[in-house]
Amino acid sequence: MILLVDIGNSRIKWALSEGAAFQEQGAATHKVVPLAEVFAAAWGVLTAPSRVLVANVAGKEMAAALRTWVTAAWNLNVEFLVPRRKACRVTNAYVEPQRLGADRWAALIGAHARVPGNVCVIDCGSAVTLDALDAKGQHLGGLIIPGLAMMQSALIQNTGDISEQAVAKGDKKVSVLARDTQGAVSGGALYTLIAVIDRVTADLAADMPAPLTRVICGGDAERLLNLLAENYLYEPDLVLHGLAIIAESTK
């Protein structure tokens, strides 16, 4: 069994994998609880896996804490995914391949294996990333934009009249036009992302000689799905599926 771990800026998702099949899965936030407690709550009762493969975009402190816990619990080394020029039939477009986010790399590999043809992967986490991939597995490049919480936080921190208290107390329902600060901030962030995602994927589809499949994942994907204009394939565990493919290829 291999423990696959997707560590974002606010959440950890994980799965125990035996080949392509997930035997057990879970998720947790890691912003307010000590990291050792997060790891223990998630994996403390698990039988020791044979490997631990991780896509981490939460920084060096997270990596160090995870190494310490895994070594103490299971006497294993943590394998942190580093994007390469080419792996699992996917070619990285970045000039410096290792600078592509590990989660984006795993998601591209997962998407190419699961969806035939041209693909745009939209990962809606703390930041929203869009990456295009052609039918041959060539990564064409991507975009990074602030996610929902990040947009709202920027408004609160950089304006005089929008306070955190006002946003927290308001109506959290989203409509086209809001009647309080919470609704205006939430709706503005949502519609910004919807407009960007729909426009970018429409432009990509127009430029490609064959149909484009739009694949969406990430913690905020479900909030966006019903508002997006085009059809999107929801793959909540895309990064983990990519990690499973990479684990199989590196036995």
Q: d(Cα 141, Cα 108) in Å, to the nearest integer?
A: 11
Distance (Å, whole) CA 78 – CA 229: 41
Is-contact 175 187, C-beta < 8 A? yes
Instruction: Classify residue 19 by its DSSP letter.
Output: T
| Nearest CA among 81, 137, 142, 128 for reference residue 109 | 137
CA distance 238 to 227: 21
Residues with catalytic roles? 103
- Say which DSSP state 192 is in: H
